[in-house]
Amino acid sequence: MQTVPLAQQEKMSKPIVNNLHAINIAGLVKGSFKIIAPFWPLKNLIAVNPLHGLEDLPIEEALKTGATYFQQPNLPENMETINRETIKWLQAYLDEGQATLSMPLRKEGLYSAWRKLAVYDVKLHYNDNQKKEWLKLVPNTAEQAIAECLLKLGIANEDRERFLKLLLTSLPGWSSYIKYRTEWAGLDVADQHPVTQADYLAIRLIITSLLWPEASTLLEWHKEAQAETKISTLEQIQKTESNYRLPLLEKLSAQPPQALHTPEAQWVFCIDVRSEPFRKALEAAGDYQTFGFAGFFGLPVQITDAVTGESYASCPVLLSPKHEVKESPCTHEGYEQDRKGYERLIDLKRLYQSLKYTFTTPFALVESLGIMSGVWLGLRTFAPRVAAKIKLTVIGILRKPMEVKPSLDAMSFSEQCSYAEGALRMIGLTHHFAPLVVFCGHGSTTQNNAYGTMLDCGACGGRHGASNARVLAAILNRVEVRKQLINNGIVIPKNTCFIAAEHNTTTDEVTLYGNQESVDIQKLKKNLEKARTANSSLRLHQMQKSTAESKAASYAWLGSQDWAQVRPEWGLARNAAFIVGPRALTASLSLEGRCFLHSYDYAADPHGNFLTTILTAPMVVAQWINTQYLFSTLDNIAYGSGSKITQNITGKIGIMQGNASDLMTGLPLQSVYRSDTEVYHELQRLMTVVYAPRQMLDLVIHSQSILQKLFGNGWVQLACIEPNSRKTYLLSRDFTWQNTH
């Protein structure tokens, strides 16, 4: 049992007589959490810059500050002990259904529940009577507890915010999840147990007061770490950038202007870098024109399944849903039977999960299903494609696929017209409409991968894009909407049909939705398969090396059903640029799946309103993705999540290394490395290239503080291609333009 010095015992037993109200707790909490980036849970992962809280600083300063706070591999031993005791309570309280027995009192809130239960935790007081008594008498509110502990630990007024930052950054993953829960979660936690940032800091401080009364020495440790930290990373990044950026700009500026014609079909894909090579392959397969648009298609909607009641926000986290769109199965012969089959499959999944996680039933489950599970495990391991076909067949028997249709009742007619016109004008599709226009969302397929939702979409919380595509197609197929668009200067031919689709970025399969009676469906599917084959071959060729091992790894990457492979896809690795302009800029270039492509026609945007939206929403999302890959590669332990081999899921929230680590908030080693030592993702910041006059860009930047921050502090490099001269310019950090030649 640990002993406490007599002087410390007296200090702990005496009440705090100082004026607690003199401490600005709200300001301290807010200021300390500013350094922390949010972390979304596994069910709806999105990419985030781990130094998001430092973006107000020039990137040189942010890198150094981040290193002193987040990249310290050796914390003081007492701090490690405090972390272990904090983690076990956070695991219990924040669990989202993995635990067999839930922590009591969670509805009361994190601090209130913990305060009532902590006295029973021997690891906090080691049965020391004075510690137990003090723990029983801690204040009822988290704010009071923070003030009392800061005084008890002897933290000077000028050091308090920095001390709290150290408590957060010495366990940054869990702090990031608290940041998400308190500032970003929205509808996702409407019915969950409450938590506040003050709750979390109060618990950290109380545990620190109990286990390390001399914790003020952490401030000295941090000063020494600051003095010893040296950053040479930016030079390495800049070297990689210089080898990529200028050659790309030269290629883009040399492209001929777009020749106007009416193609056989027009496809609107997500700006995702994985869409770019498939777009090029599809254009080569037929008389098709493609566009790039943010994958939620400009619709801030909440999608609700009318059968299951499941509801989720289907738009980027930077936006809040404005409309609830219900998706219902299309009625047809045998509809009731299909619906019941769908419900049976859901009930079967729920039953299996309950048996799997209940305290005693897993033993019976193993006994009854052990042999069958063993055979299935072997089949999935050694013949994954065969196993996948069997699974699809069984699911098809239990539940036939049902076409769904969205209800537009939640949107007024004027809102529908606004979304339709905004989407078309944003990408410059206002004339030369093809007979078929396809809005193609995207998702991915991966097995045994905790990061699966992040591979679906890096912005929309892991949601597939088909639902939004169906909504926009339904709006644009309405005769009344088209009549209103004519009044606004957009004439859509009567024979133009809008349908929805979804692109699987792992397999390049495209699923079509909606009325296809006017479409030569066989020809369309043939060309889609041609594009799929061509793009898969190209990806394999780009990734291959001379060794048989690399060939095998590359081939496995193309398969979505092999759970033995840690790289079913490398997601958005090697992303490097965000290009805003007409397709003619990029159509003939091989961009190797490294560029986000957003269609844009500056001539149709005289006031720069659409450009403002593109640069302050999709580009910001692209910057988050870019920085997550950059920092996960730079330091995969501090900013990534280490190797998948030693990872465990905790509470269905996130990943830990081993059984009691910090939450790992970044990408795994296997997402950014070819091997344990060879990097796959290239270290470079995002370059944004805009095909528009510099004067227009200046006006947009001047009106948007977020752009001033990202461009002025060096997080993103902005390049401009002047439409008239085709000369290229780079924006300096003092907001002057420099000719690249």
Q: Are residues 520 and 603 in the same domain?
A: no
Q: Inform me whether the pLDDT recorded for 236 exceeds 60.
A: yes
* Cβ-contact 735, 704 below 8 angstroms: no
What mean pLDDT is predicted for residues 303-313?
85
User: Is 343 a member of any domain?
Assistant: no
Q: Are residues 593 and 714 in the same domain?
A: yes
| Domain end among 512, 542, 565 | 565
For residues 245-271, average pLDDT? 93
DSSP 634-667: H-TTTTS---GGGEEEETTTEEEETTS-PPB-S-
User: Does 253 have pLDDT greater than 80?
Assistant: yes
Section 423-443 average pLDDT:
95
| Helix ranges (DSSP H) in 383-449 | 384-398, 413-427
Q: Is 56 exposed, middle or buried (0-12, 13-18, 19+ CB in 10 A)?
A: exposed
* Mean pLDDT calculated for residue range 118-124: 96
Task: Determine the structural domain holding residue 680 and report its residue range.
Answer: 232-261+572-636+673-741
For position 203, what pLDDT does the model report?
Answer: 98
CB neighbour list of residue 404: distance below 8 Å, 6 or more residues apart: 327, 328, 329, 330, 470
Whether 350 shows a pLDDT value over 80: the answer reads no
Query: And the tokens for 309?
Result: 């009641």
Q: Confirm whether 222 is domain-assigned.
A: yes
**Mean pLDDT for the chain?**
87
> Does 429 fall in a domain?
yes
pLDDT digits (tens, 9 = 90+) for 317-327: 878 899 999 99
Same domain? 585 vs 559: no
Range 294-304 average pLDDT: 92
**Tokens coding 655:** 């990943």
Read off the pLDDT of each residue in 601-619 and give the average, rounded to a whole number: 96
Same-domain check for residues 201 and 63: yes
What SS3 state is found at 252? helix
207 and 286, same structural domain?
Answer: no
Indicate if 451 and 549 belong to the same structural domain.
yes
Using DSSP, state whether 716 is helix, strand or coil: strand
Q: Per-residue pLDDT averaged across 2-21, rounded?
A: 47
**Pair (458, 591) in one structural domain:** no
**Strands of the 577-580 sheet, one edge to the other:** 595-598, 577-580, 686-691, 716-721, 728-731, 737-739
CA distance 131 to 717: 55
Specify the pLDDT at position 144. 96
List, for residues 155-174, the tens digit of each pLDDT value: 999 999 999 999 999 999 99
Task: Determine, yes or no, domain membership for 56.
Answer: yes
Domain assignment present for 443: yes
- Same domain (yes/no): 431, 475: yes
pLDDT at 6: 43
pLDDT in tens, 56-78: 999 999 999 999 999 998 899 99
Query: Is residue 607 located within the same domain as residue 693?
Result: yes
- Pick the last residue of a domain from 523, 540, 565: 565
User: Would you say residue 440 has pLDDT above 80?
Assistant: yes
* Mean pLDDT of the region 610-634: 96
Strand runs labelled E in 432-513 = 436-443, 497-504, 510-513
Residue 303 token pair: 């999608």
Dist. CA 412–CA 478, nearest whole Å = 13
Q: Is the pLDDT of residue 360 over 80?
A: no
Q: For position 548, what pLDDT does the model report?
A: 37
Q: How far is CA 106 from CA 110, 111, 117, 183, 193, in A?
A: 7, 9, 11, 19, 6
pLDDT tens, position by position, 507-563? 889 999 988 787 888 999 999 999 999 988 887 776 664 333 344 344 433 456 665
Q: What pLDDT is recorded for position 550?
A: 41
For the stretch 469-508, pLDDT in tens is: 999 999 999 999 999 999 999 999 999 999 999 999 888 8
Say what the pTM is. 0.90
Q: Is 652 left (phi over 0), alpha (psi -120 to 50) or beta?
A: left
Q: What is the pLDDT of residue 345?
A: 64
Contacts of 685 (CB under 8 A, 6+ apart): 59, 237, 241, 626, 627, 630, 714, 715, 716, 717
With a CB cutoff of 8 Å and minimum separation 6, the contacts of 451 are 42, 45, 667, 668, 671
Q: Which domain-ending residue is among 565, 598, 627?
A: 565
**Total domains present in the chain:** 3
- Report which DSSP code applies to 330: P
Q: Check whether 678 has a pLDDT greater than 60.
A: yes
- Answer yes or no: is 251 within a domain: yes
Check whether 275 has a pLDDT greater than 90. yes
Q: CB–CB of 295/468 below 8 Å?
A: yes
The pLDDT value recorded for residue 456 is 81
Residue 715 near residue 55 (C-beta atoms within 8 A): yes
Give 360's DSSP letter: S
Angle between helices 197-211 and 160-169 in degrees, nearest 10: 90
Give yes or no for a contact between 68 and 625, defined as CB atoms under 8 angstroms apart: no
Residue 611 has pLDDT above 90, yes or no: yes
pLDDT for residue 566: 45
Task: Please answer whether residues 495 and 518 qualify as being in contact, where contact means their C-beta atoms are separated by less than 8 angstroms.
Answer: yes
Asked if residue 598 and residue 549 are part of one domain, the reply reads no
Whether the per-residue pLDDT at 84 is higher than 70: the answer is: yes
Q: Does residue 345 lie within any of the structural domains?
A: no
Look at 118-122, 433-437, 553-557 and tell me which has the smallest mean pLDDT.
Answer: 553-557
**Are 542 and 625 members of one domain?**
no
User: Does some domain include residue 466?
Assistant: yes
Domain co-membership, 317 together with 462: yes
Q: How far apart are the first and last CA of the chain?
A: 72
